[in-house]
Amino acid sequence: MSSADTTDIPGDLAPDRARARSARRWRPSGSTLVMVLYILFLMLPIYWLINMSLKTNAEILGTFSLWPRNPTLANYRTILTDASWYMGYVNSLIYVVMNTVISVAVALPAAYAFSRYSFMGDKHLFFWLLTNRMAPPAVFALPFFQLYSSVGLFDTHIAVALAHCLFNVPLAVWILEGFMRGVPREIDETAYIDGYSFPKFFVKIFMPLIASGIGVAAFFCFMFSWVELLLSRTLTSVDAKPIAATMTRTVSASGLDWGVLAAAGALTLIPGALVVFFVRNYIAKGFALGRV
């Protein structure tokens, strides 16, 4: 610090304070250090996945390298040109979007009922909905497989979308109910007095008020459905095979193609990252306002 060109006033604390502040700026604080370590720790597997996806199989198996020596996009090319690979993504996206739409559409009126009316057994029903989330998917795999096969829905997108509703509808109801509870009932009544019919009120007045709740609910439905493997693999064989299943099956069929697998894994991160990017503001708001 150059305090030579400024006159020193005896007892003046200001220059000291300025010096102290700048000193603090340079000292690495504990929280920054912890944060950096934590992020490194979190990002390491993702970095390694991307690292692998840009290498050739020979390099992956042959040497230990922190970054690809001969970066190649061949692995990605394989996936994006081979229908048996990229159809996995398409199938996954189809049933995930279907599931998200169904879950939110079903949960909206249900959550409204829970937040606005008291009816016989409402508390028990609400709890029962939540218990559906607690059961492991494996419990439902066998009955679902048999049920969907017998009604001819096996290996269709809608089968997986419906199966995932088992977990996502309760979750969406739970999230939305918290948001709806925060909207005063008087708004509903004012709308009716103004002349809004219920559907019109719900779409024009109510849904904009809980838009962040809908965003958060849709995000969670999307993510749970996207990462769920067991049910989606059990309920599909060829036509609706999800990407995760494609990945596991390819491993056993064609030996270990590490590079292509890593590229496929890297690509599965993209939809989630995109959704997070678009709803990130809602999520911050959602975690603060809603119940989750």
Partner 1 sequence: MTLELRGLARRVGADAHIHPTDLTLEAGTMNVLLGPTLAGKTTLMRLMAGLDAPSEGRLYWRGEDVTGRRVQDRDVAMVYQQFINYPSMSVYDNIASPLRLMGRSADEIDRTVRETASMLKLTPMLGRRPLELSGGQQQRCAMGRALAKGAGLVLLDEPLANLDYKLREELREEIPRIFAKSGAIFVYATTEPEEALLLGGNAAALWEGRVTQFGPTPRVYRRPADATTARVFSDPPMNFMSLEKRAGMLRFGAQDEVPAAGRYEALPDGRYSAGFRPNHLELERHNAGALEFVARVAVSEITGSETFVHLDYAEWRWVGLMRGVRHLPQGSEVRVYLSPAHIYLFDGEGRLASAAPYAQAA
Q: Least distance to partner 1 from the beta carbon of 207, Å?
A: 9
> Contact with partner 1 (CB under 8 A): which of 7, 131, 197, 254?
197
> End-to-end CA distance of the chain, in Å?
49
CB count within 10 Å of CB 195 equals: 8
Q: Contacting partner 1 (CB under 8 A), which of 28, 63, 121, 194?
A: 194
Question: With binding defined as CB under 8 A, does residue 180 bind partner 1?
Answer: no
For residue 210, the minimal CB distance to partner 1 (Å) is: 10
Of 183-191, 222-230, 232-240, 279-287, the segment contacting partner 1 by CB under 8 A is 183-191
**Cα 74 versus chain centre, distance:** 29
CB 133 within 8 A of CB 167: yes
- Compute the distance between CA of residue 74 and CA of residue 76 in angstroms, rounded to an integer: 5
The nearest distance, CB 188 to partner 1, in angstroms, is 10
Least separation in angstroms between CB 197 and partner 1: 6
Instruction: Please give the angle made by the CA atoms of 110, 113 and 118, to the nearest 5 degrees.
Output: 135
Counting contacts by CB under 8 A, is residue 187 touching partner 1?
Answer: yes
Q: For the chain, state the CA radius of gyration.
A: 27
CA distance 247 to 57: 16
Tokens of 3: 């305090």
Q: How far is the CB of 192 from partner 1 (least distance, A)?
A: 4
Which listed residue (93, 205, 223, 230) binds partner 1 by CB under 8 A? 205
Residue 45 or 184: the one with the smaller Cβ distance to partner 1 is 184
Binding site for partner 1 (CB under 8 A): 184, 186-187, 189-197, 205, 208-209
